[in-house]
Amino acid sequence: MSASEPGRITSGRGVVVTRTGGGPGVVARLATAGSWFVVRPVIAIWSKTWRFPWPYFLVDLAAVLLPPVRGVERARVRLRNCEAEHTRIAGAGSDSAILYLHGGAWLVGGLRSHRRLVSRLARDTGVPVLAVNYRKLPHASVSDAFDDCLDGFRRLRTAGIAADRIAVVGDSAGGYFALRVALEGLHGGLGAPGALVCLSPIIDLEPSSKLASASVNDPLFPASALHAMWQMTLASERDRDALEKLLTPASATEAELRGLPPTLIQVGGGEILRPDSEDIAARLAAAGVRVTLEVYPGQLHVFQVGADVIPEARSAVASITEHIRTALRASRRVAA
């Protein structure tokens, strides 16, 4: 199915619904051009020099200029090995929560870079959000980062929030963590969350399969970046068991996926990661999970963070909001 071709993909016992809007507007086109001519060349250079001591912390530091949306209050939370941030509108109830896991190739980003999106979700859904600033490469492994994400889920459970009253949301690398947290909750005794949202997730960390069918015209990521991310990930892991666990989302069987909550996946039509979104959506549907795959033609990787200026991003965030509200309402009715 092409990026601009609306319709639905039927797979096994489930249906993956692909909703596509029109082409990108003027602001989205400008953002794409800026990414292609400014950001992509930097990432291409990084992919050939990833062993150098790049100042990755500067990305999140620069985002200090991005305040949360109005009408929310924030508080820092300390997890075992990292910090997190709790965001909510004043007076929001405490019987439900969103766990937000940011992207950034396990290297960059954090609480500041995603504060606008996180606070928008807290405001629009009325559900408090716990955003985890997990440890990052090259100083910690991807396995360490996942442990931090899982600690965020544990913190919410310890606070008395039922698993099915938690929506787990992640973008890019955080989308990978979101799926892994949901799987661990389902099979590890913490309980499956009530909703799952993955924005342009990377599912298979080993890039060869997706590169065989992916777009080579992604305005953000050259193919060399995925190879560099994989090599850096390999270099960070301590043993073979840890490495095998990293591949869990890509190798999960139908039986392992069965029982996951209603899932929303959003991805740009020309993204190099689009094959991952389509593959996991089809496999979730085959496992009987209610899943919606939304493909947005001409949109950048994780364009949702630009909801302040990109109309299509606002529409995408509205869809995320509705998905979380609907799924958590359903879980409340089941509990009642």
pLDDT, position 34: 93
Report the C-alpha gap between 192 and 188 in whole angstroms: 9
- Per-residue confidence (pLDDT) for residue 242, from 0 to 100: 80
Does the pLDDT of residue 19 top 80, yes or no? no
Average pLDDT over residues 287-291: 93
211/333: higher pLDDT:
211
Residue with tokens 């039509």: 269
Catalytic residue among 141, 143, 172, 319: 172
Among 271, 278, 294, 312, which one carries the catalytic annotation? Answer: 271
Q: How many CB atoms lie within 10 A of CB 70?
A: 7
Residues 6+ apart with CB under 8 A from 160: 94
pLDDT of residue 335: 53
Catalytic residue (one of 102, 301, 312, 319):
301
Is 301 a known active-site residue?
Answer: yes
Assess whether pLDDT exceeds 60 at residue 104: yes
The Cα–Cα gap between 25 and 133 comes to 32
- Per cent of the chain over pLDDT 90 is 74
